[in-house]
């Protein structure tokens, strides 16, 4: 059994708890939190510890799955824990991945452990599919579309506007743009042509709805470059119709082969997810299995999804995989 520890108990941590509880080859040792452990109760009843307890439990844990945020938690936490533990994180600040990698790599090498960073679906499975498709079709173009799905960051940005009680923002790919790529037309697409944004807003009583709508639609970076629709709804409607955290998207590569570039090919990878955090957790758990195996082989250092042979992710043996899946 692979003994898993969870650091951080938000949506992602709960998703990992669930995924581990359903994995035949894994068991959950505990949840580690910076909060007072007495205030945290887990869904499966697994023990909750304060972070400080980790040091003493080094021999009880095979892989730590770090479920904190990329803005404030992971940049420090992953590197700190990587010396003493095999660790997996879902660090998703694309621009800062190289420096994060270097820091975590040094720590892992020093402690002879394995770390795998930026695991999930983007970065993660989408990145993998960009790599495979580029390697196969070097002469071509990449496209990534996100959604339909809830963007937490954009929802938060709306909530910060005066007079807004709650909000939910959906990112939606423009279907005509996706179709054009699927048809191998290699369109050049602006930000506005790729995605639209749809906002469901609960306003405070008496708030100026026109002002709120205008503040949303003109917000730089978040909304100004998009066609944005704003719907004002009641708190009840928000809870009833927009409680879930669906997401997904599609990675496409359109390329040509042949001496005269006469043959077109399109590779498409598409995710349709009812729960963004639970799917991300499922990917994290598969890579935790890989980290455990790589560490057993005596390997060390920081890896990404690019460095992990697929067979390490699956519970079946190489022989079974060749027989049943190849």
Q: Closest separation between CB of residue 200 and a copy of itself, Å? A: 20
Q: Cβ-count burial of 86 within 10 angstroms (0-12 exposed, 13-18 middle, 19+ buried)?
A: buried
3-state secondary structure of 181: helix
Can you state the angle between helices 74-82 and 97-111, rounded to 10 degrees? 20
Q: Which is nearer to a copy of itself, 34 or 264 (CB)?
A: 264
Rounded to whole angstroms, the Cα distance separating 195 from 193 reads: 6
Q: Closest separation between CB of residue 281 and a copy of itself, Å? A: 8
> Which 3-state string (H, E, C) describes 269-315?
EEEEECEHHHHHHHHHHHHHHHHHHHHHCCCCEEECHHHCCHHHHCC
Question: Binding of a copy of itself at residue 323 (CB under 8 A)?
Answer: yes
Alpha helices in 37-189 (DSSP H): 74-82, 97-111, 125-136, 152-159, 175-182
Question: Binding of a copy of itself at residue 297 (CB under 8 A)?
Answer: no
The contact pattern for a copy of itself, residues 210-249, with x = CB under 8 A and - = no contact, is: ----------------------------------------
Structure tokens at 36: 């007072």
Question: Binding of a copy of itself at residue 9 (CB under 8 A)?
Answer: no
Q: Closest separation between CB of residue 94 and a copy of itself, Å? A: 7
Closest CA to 285 of 10, 9, 25: 25
Question: Binding of a copy of itself at residue 309 (CB under 8 A)?
Answer: yes
3-state secondary structure of 73: coil
Question: Binding of a copy of itself at residue 145 (CB under 8 A)?
Answer: no
Q: Closest separation between CB of residue 14 and a copy of itself, Å? A: 9
Q: Which is nearer to a copy of itself, 16 or 219 (CB)?
A: 16
Interface residues with a copy of itself (CB under 8 A)?
A: 15, 18-19, 21-23, 43, 94, 97-98, 101, 118, 123, 125, 127-132, 134-139, 182, 184, 257-259, 262-275, 278-279, 281-283, 286, 289, 304-311, 313-315, 318-319, 321-323, 325-326
């Amino acid at each position: 059994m692979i003994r898993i520890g969870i650091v951080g108990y938000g949506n992602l941590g709960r998703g990992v708890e669930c995924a581990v509880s359903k994995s035949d080859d894994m068991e959950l040792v505990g949840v580690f939190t910076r909060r007072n452990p007495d205030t945290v109760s887990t869904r499966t009843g697994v023990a909750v510890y304060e972070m400080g307890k980790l040091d003493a439990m080094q021999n009880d844990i095979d892989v730590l799955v770090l479920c904190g945020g990329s803005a404030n938690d992971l940049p420090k936490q992953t590197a700190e824990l990587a010396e003493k533990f095999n660790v997996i994180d879902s660090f998703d600040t694309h621009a800062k991945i190289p420096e994060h990698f270097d820091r975590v790599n040094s720590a892992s090498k020093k402690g002879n452990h394995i770390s795998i960073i930026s695991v999930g679906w983007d970065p993660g499975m989408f990145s993998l599919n960009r790599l495979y498709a580029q390697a196969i079709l070097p002469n071509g173009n990449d496209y990534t579309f996100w959604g339909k799905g809830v963007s937490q960051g954009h929802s938060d940005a709306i909530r910060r506007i005066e007079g807004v009680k709650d909000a939910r923002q959906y990112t939606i790919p423009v279907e005509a743009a996706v179709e054009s790529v699927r048809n191998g037309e290699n369109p050049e697409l602006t930000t506005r042509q790729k995605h639209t944004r749809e906002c469901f807003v609960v306003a405070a009583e008496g708030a100026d709805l026109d002002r709120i709508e205008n503040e949303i639609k003109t917000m730089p970076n978040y909304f100004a470059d998009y066609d944005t629709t704003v719907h004002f709804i009641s708190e009840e409607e928000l809870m009833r119709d927009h409680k879930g955290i669906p997401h997904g998207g599609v990675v496409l590569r359109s390329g040509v082969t042949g001496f005269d570039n006469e043959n077109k090919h399109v590779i498409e990878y598409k995710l349709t997810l009812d729960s963004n955090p639970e799917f991300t957790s499922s990917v994290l758990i598969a890579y935790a299995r890989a980290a455990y195996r790589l560490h057993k082989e005596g390997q060390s250092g920081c890896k990404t999804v690019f460095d992990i042979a697929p067979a390490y992710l699956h519970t079946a043996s190489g022989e079974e995989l060749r027989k049943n899946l190849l």
